[in-house]
Chains A and B, each alone.
Chain A
Amino acid sequence: MIIDFDALWKVLVAGLAAGAGLVAVYALGLVALAARAAPGPRHAATALAVACFAIVGAGAACGLYVILAG
């Protein structure tokens, strides 16, 4: 049989990491944004939101690079 099991599990792991992982990070970014509106220290929340959205953006850019270069 010529099913590429090696590629298969890589697709699953990468899919889970990027698909579920980045989606969760984005959600975390929204939580941080919501925290900014609440009373209390705002700098930490702002920094967390920026960091989250930057990670998601970097993930998307990485994905684009991968399909365009491959």
Chain B
Amino acid sequence: MDANTLLLGLVVLTALAFDFTNGFHDTANAMATSIATGALPPKAAVTLSAVLNFAGAFLSLQVAATIATGIVDSGAVTVTVVFAGLVGGLAWNLLTWYYGIPSSSSHALIGGVVGATLIAAGAGAVKGSGIVANVLVPALLAPLFAILVATLGTYLVYRITAGVPGRLRTRGFRLGQIGSASLVSLAHGTNDAQKTMGVITLALVANETIGAEDGTPFWVVFACALAIGLGTYVGGWRVIRTMGKGLIEIESPQGFSAEGSSAAVIFAASHFGFPLSTTHVCSGSIMGAGVGKRLAEVRWGLAGRMVTAWLVTLPAAGLVGALAWKGTDLIGGAAGVAVVFAAAVVFGAGLYRASRRAPVDHTNVNHEWTGTVVPTREPVK
């Protein structure tokens, strides 16, 4: 096996690992509210979401072999830059998962690539205005839009159904929640798996394994669909807990209006070509569902910490991406990539082991929120 094949193999593996974390990090977006309100049992929720993510990945009609378009100079994106960018995104995804913070996987990947490009090709290859327009402004607007839509939706829902008997209301909205959460899951598979497909296709083209005009090979589509589906199934329970229990105490009418708002904003953004992050939209919708119900409480301190994490995503993933590129470059060649890959594996394994010391899983995800991701005591019956 020559150096190029090894390099390509490691890049593909890293991309699939990123896709996997993309899946489990974002399970919460679609399913946190359904799990919190009891619309679906936790295991059933992640299974449904996983199947829809898997199916959604196959439904993406065109895979663009581009990464961070309009943000970095496409000529500067080498296979090593892609690899370092993936490592940056991967590291940030794992770290935020450990702390139970929902953060955008796309922004993490973009951050990693920007960081790697900065150090590999210099500041000239990074388009500052592109970062503002495609990353920073959407990161601020997405939650605001979602809060607005979900606040109005929640207010209307409670106003309209005030006279509906409690049992019918709860059951009706739980059903609606399952439907709207399914839409969000499907859209997630369609959008996010496509990004990894694009990254792998790009690496294959750069390595001249396939021609620039060739479509994405089927095995790439299948592997990406499988990775995001499996990741979703494993479930990022820590993030699910923060979104479902941490932000607000959620009832099924709120869960329904939050997921409905998320689905609508995501679909609209995707249709009109405005790059909103699913994570930012879904978090905003849940906050809005808290604002829209009278006397409901939104834990703004936690919301503030989340927004801070969103603003830090780009520089933090960028820093790791830059370090990963530098490390790869210093050691050189396939050996450099292998060493950085090994370091990433060690980092991931370390966080996994740390998480096992106080696990959050389907058994305790709904325990009463006492200010921490890991439940501090048994639920009050």
Residue of A nearest to B281 (CB): A15
- Tell me if B276 and A11 are in contact (CB < 8 A): yes
**Interface residues as binary, B119-141 with A (CB distance below 8 Å gives 1, 0 otherwise):** 00000000001101100010001
Interface residues of A: mostly helix, strand, loop or mixed? Answer: helix
Once the chains bind, are A14 and B268 in contact (CB under 8 Å)? yes
Q: How far is the CA of A17 from the CA of B153 in the complex (A)?
A: 10
Give A9 to B47 CA distance when docked, in angstroms.
Answer: 35
**A residues near B161, Cβ cutoff 8 Å:** 27, 30-31
Stretch touching chain A among B93-101, B107-115, B254-262? B254-262
| Residue pair A23, B179 in contact (C-beta under 8 Å) | no
Q: Is B234 an interface residue (CB 8 A)?
A: no
Contacts A10-B268, A10-B272 hold; do A23 and B168 have CB atoms under 8 A apart? no
B157 close to chain A: CB less than 8 A: yes
Would you give the shortest CB distance from B172 to chain A, in whole angstroms? 4
Most central of A15, A22, A67 by chain B CB within 10 Å: A15
**Can you name the residue of chain B whose Cβ is closest to the Cβ of A32?**
B164
Across-interface contacts of A2 in B (CB, < 8 A): 129-130, 133
Contacts A11-B272, A19-B153, A19-B260 given; indicate if A1 touches B168 (C-beta within 8 A): no
With A10-B272, A11-B268, A14-B271 as contacts: A63 and B263 at CB distance below 8 Å: yes
Known: A7-B272, A64-B183, A70-B270. A14 touches B264 (CB 8 A): yes
Question: Is B75 part of the contact surface with A, judged by Cβ < 8 Å?
Answer: no
Chain A residues near B270 (CB-CB < 8 A): 66-67, 70
Minimal Cβ-Cβ distance residue in A for B62: A70
A27 to B257, CA, bound (A): 10
Within 8 Å of chain A (Cβ to Cβ): is B273? yes
- Of all chain A residues, which has the CB nearest B259? A23
Residues 135 to 154 of chain B near chain A (Cβ within 8 Å): 137, 141, 145-146, 148-150, 152-153
B163-205 CB mask vs A (1 if < 8 Å, else 0) is 1110011001100100110010011001100000000000000
- A1, B257: Cβ atoms closer than 8 Å: no
Chain B residues in 8 Å Cβ range of A67: 187, 190-191, 267, 270-271
Map CB proximity to A onto B250-293 as digits: 1 under 8 Å, 0 otherwise. 00010011001111110111111110100000000000000000
Measured between alpha carbons, how far is A19 from B269 in the docked complex, in Å? Answer: 12
When distances are taken between beta carbons in the complex, the residues of chain B under 8 Å from A24 are 153, 156-157, 160
CA distance A8 to B176 in the complex (A): 28
- With an 8 A cutoff between CB atoms, is B59 at the interface? yes
| A26-52, CB < 8 A from B | 26-31, 33-34, 37
- Least Cβ distance of A26 to chain B in Å? 5
Partner of A19, one of B132, B163, B263: B263
User: Residue on B with the closest CB to A18?
Assistant: B264
Which of B148, B180, B272 has the largest number of chain A CB atoms within 10 A?
Answer: B272
Q: Once the chains are docked, how many angstroms separate the CA of A44 from the CA of B148?
A: 33
Complex CA gap A57/B265 in Å reads 17
CA distance A49 to B191 in the complex (A): 33
What is the CA–CA distance of A18 and B150 in the complex, to the nearest angstrom?
11
Nearest chain A CB to B165's CB is how many angstroms away?
6
Whether B295 is near chain A, meaning CB under 8 Å from some CB there, is no
Q: Shortest Cβ distance from A42 into chain B, in angstroms?
A: 15
Using A16-B149, A23-B260, A60-B180 as known contacts, list a sample of 4 further A-B pairs with CB atoms less than 8 Å apart, ordered by residue number in A.
Answer: A14-B272, A30-B168, A67-B191, A67-B270
A residues near B, CB below 8 A? Answer: 1-4, 7-8, 10-12, 14-20, 22-24, 26-31, 33-34, 37, 60, 63-64, 66-70
Could you show 27 A-B contacts with beta carbons less than 8 Å apart?
A: A1-B129, A2-B130, A2-B133, A3-B137, A11-B145, A11-B269, A15-B146, A15-B265, A15-B268, A16-B149, A19-B261, A19-B262, A20-B149, A20-B150, A20-B153, A20-B156, A23-B157, A27-B161, A27-B253, A30-B164, A63-B183, A63-B267, A64-B183, A66-B267, A66-B270, A67-B190, A70-B270
